[in-house]
Structure 1
């Protein structure tokens, strides 16, 4: 006699057959639809589990297994920790920085390796160049200028520093000092300098600042290393007139002292022992500011009858600065922007930049600002002899490259050295000389 369970099983079977007929289009099909797929999936899953289990057992019995550490020139980086090693004389030696590893392996290649692969490999003492750079820039990360040398006192008023802020980022936005203007800086001993786009002029007499309309400016301090980046113009001060103060020739029926200034319209003169000598406007303005006596105004007839000096040197002793307008930083930092123009020379141009780009901290201390991972290969300029090469790291530290072997090991030999001001280079923090011979055993800790 059939039970209720038998009826349920029969009902389930009939429903399955009807579903199979609808799906397959064949009421006589022997298999339930999807049964083959389900069977294949189950078998595949079982095989995958067995395969993974097999690899796990093998890895447990034979951990690691990579022997890449034995390759010549390999610089090993442990995947799990980032620790760096070189394999020498049958043992692993930790290296504190990439530069040391490259010097030890004469270039070499970085290889990632698991901690398990290094289990059981003998360990030895750390080796490297003490103080070597943590990073060595890739060839495409090297920069070649332009760069900025900025006055700390212009970025943070009142800053007292003998150095300058160096921004090595080439694309810093800057505003040129206009061609028709100048600015004033204060050198050592409170000596002032008039600065144009490319030159500096030492103020030999404060009358020059008065004459050029810059007496009221409070100029920023300029260290000697910054002033040295600019070319020199002539000193600015009143010309020395031989015999000044003595009686000179008559002019307009009156006798005047040698050194007296005369003006007839736009024509400017100074009285020499042999007569009136012409002067440039700049020369006249400076001499007038230094002289307590006012210039003598001449009428044309007096000028015609006056004796003339053969000396015309005061027409071109000084450049024409009288037409220039004084400019102050006005909340900006005063900098020199430099860029190489040949293998051994660079140009310098006075610019203004935002204070935050001047590489000067809030306390007025200068530093070297550069992009992380970048660097420069430079040589001091000018140099009378063959100059050594330096790597300037992204931390603003200069490392002398001992020879071509060291340069090649650090993979910097393809870079064209950038001529860099010797004074600015000497003012950077100096790292150790980088050479293969400088590699030593390092103390623990």
Structure 2
């Protein structure tokens, strides 16, 4: 009895014999007629793949066939060395460029394509002299790496390599320097170049007292030394001194019919609130002042002329008597604190910072913050010199800034766009002026997104060359002239 398997194999044999009989006229050929065709096709495919692989390997090992390098708007980078080139159609020469920023400016195109090619691909081009702006950045940060603020101008005391204490200024951008702000009733006293300054409500006021009187005024804290470049970043608000009193010491009629001298300080208590009112005697009567002005007058060395043979101290009177001999001269200074503020002691080993929030022309003071330790590579950078720029730039890793220069801080100058109002700060903390918004666009930036930064802060950043497209296309002078 035949199984189903035997029947299937018999059917398959009969089908094969019918096919062979139709193709070759012989049903019992020992070899399949399609086998040679399949083997030939497979062999052909393998040979083709081998040829393609050989030519691919040859192209990698022996490059040099790059095309389209003479098209406009192409930045060419040599693979072996990283040298940048641009092609000039007028001279039909390939010009090496000093740095990446110069190449972008020299191409003068809003859309630049970058081609990385082998040295051999450039062999067919005649070379021109190297062009570009010496000192321009060779790396440009992306627009997503640009920071807007805050900007903190800080000073702290460090030790130089020889162990001598030195004042170090720093500009920190895009980070919180910490510390605490001064309260409404607090102030700080500093000095620079022998001149004392009171910092109150985030403004600096020149102190008229001599140095030996500062601790008496502050009830302890001495004036800490700070560099002028740090001080100049803080907005100015006039003087912190006693009012001018001409004819000091001249005998005149005092309140209540008594005798007095010009320059003497009087005080009176009001009945309702117990508030103390302060006055100074002038030649035509009493002029009201505030408590701070009174204290400054009493500490003024010239005040002894108003108290011949007596100690310098306020004279008691009453409000009604004071109002009977009122002077026509107004001396009350609204810029000074109404009462003497509490003077905060600053530890010079910690940063004292003037912090400008994002987009703000005014700052607030913080004491006791923190900053990274300075390194030798960031001290005295830039071409402007250490006398007018900060010693240390502190930026986030890879961070940079596109800034629009606006009046503010301690600088009252005005600047308009097109005259250096735009600047680019790279990740090395160097500032490069941009002549126009169009130049910023050629470098890949939108001038409308520039961060407004006070001019007093911008000028503290070490400065590099201006990124001018005209200069980018000029040959770099050789050592021989």
Place the TM-score, normalised by the shorter chain, in its bin: 0.7 to 0.9
Out of 377, 383, 397, the position equivalent to 2:403 is 377
Counterpart residue number, 2:299: 289
Matches within 5 A, 1:267-416: 267-290=277-300, 291-292=303-304, 293-298=311-316, 304-305=320-321, 307-311=324-328, 313-320=330-337, 322-330=339-347, 331-339=349-357, 341=359, 346-352=361-367, 354-357=369-372, 366-371=391-396, 372-379=398-405, 381=407, 382-383=413-414, 385-386=416-417, 387-388=419-420, 389-416=422-449
> CA separation of 1:70/1:148 partners in 2, compared to 1, >3 Å: closer, same or farther?
same
Counterpart residue number, 1:16: none
Paired residue secondary structure (2:441): helix
8 Å contact from structure 1 (residues 76, 111) kept in 2: yes
Out of 110, 123, 127, the position equivalent to 1:124 is 127
Counterpart residue number, 1:191: 195
Deviation at 1:48, TM superposition (A): 6.4
Matches within 5 A, 1:145-294: 145-151=149-155, 153=157, 158-159=165-166, 164-188=169-193, 190-206=194-210, 209-210=214-215, 212-213=217-218, 216-223=221-228, 225-251=229-255, 254-265=258-269, 266-290=276-300, 291-292=303-304, 293-294=311-312
Out of 467, 470, 480, the position equivalent to 1:434 is 467
Counterpart residue number, 1:23: none
Counterpart residue number, 1:12: none
> CA separation of 1:278/1:118 partners in 2, compared to 1, >3 Å: closer, same or farther?
same
Unaligned 5+ runs, structure 2: 1-8, 14-37, 270-275, 305-310, 381-390, 408-412
8 Å contact from structure 1 (residues 96, 128) kept in 2: yes
Deviation at 1:193, TM superposition (A): 0.4
Rounded to whole Å, the distance in 2 between the matches of 1:337 and 1:260 is 41
Paired residue secondary structure (2:166): coil
TM-score, structure 2 normalization? 0.69
Paired residue secondary structure (1:159): strand
Rounded to whole Å, the distance in 1 between the matches of 2:338 and 2:321 is 31
Unaligned 5+ runs, structure 1: 1-25, 31-39
Out of 46, 53, 56, the position equivalent to 1:55 is 53
1:382-413 deviation digits (Å, cap 9, x = unpaired): 41655423222222322222345433322224
- Give the number of aligned pairs: 400
Paired residue secondary structure (2:225): coil
Deviation at 1:46, TM superposition (A): 11
Deviation at 1:200, TM superposition (A): 1.0
Deviation at 1:281, TM superposition (A): 1.1
Q: CA RMSD in A?
A: 4.0
8 Å contact from structure 2 (residues 172, 395) kept in 1: yes
> CA separation of 1:208/1:421 partners in 2, compared to 1, >3 Å: closer, same or farther?
farther
Rounded to whole Å, the distance in 2 between the matches of 1:329 and 1:279 is 30
Rounded to whole Å, the distance in 2 between the matches of 1:155 and 1:176 is 26
8 Å contact from structure 2 (residues 221, 344) kept in 1: no
TM-score, structure 1 normalization? 0.74
8 Å contact from structure 2 (residues 252, 261) kept in 1: yes
Deviation at 1:196, TM superposition (A): 1.9
Rounded to whole Å, the distance in 1 between the matches of 2:326 and 2:342 is 32
> CA separation of 1:317/1:120 partners in 2, compared to 1, >3 Å: closer, same or farther?
closer
Deviation at 1:141, TM superposition (A): 1.9
Paired residue secondary structure (1:186): strand
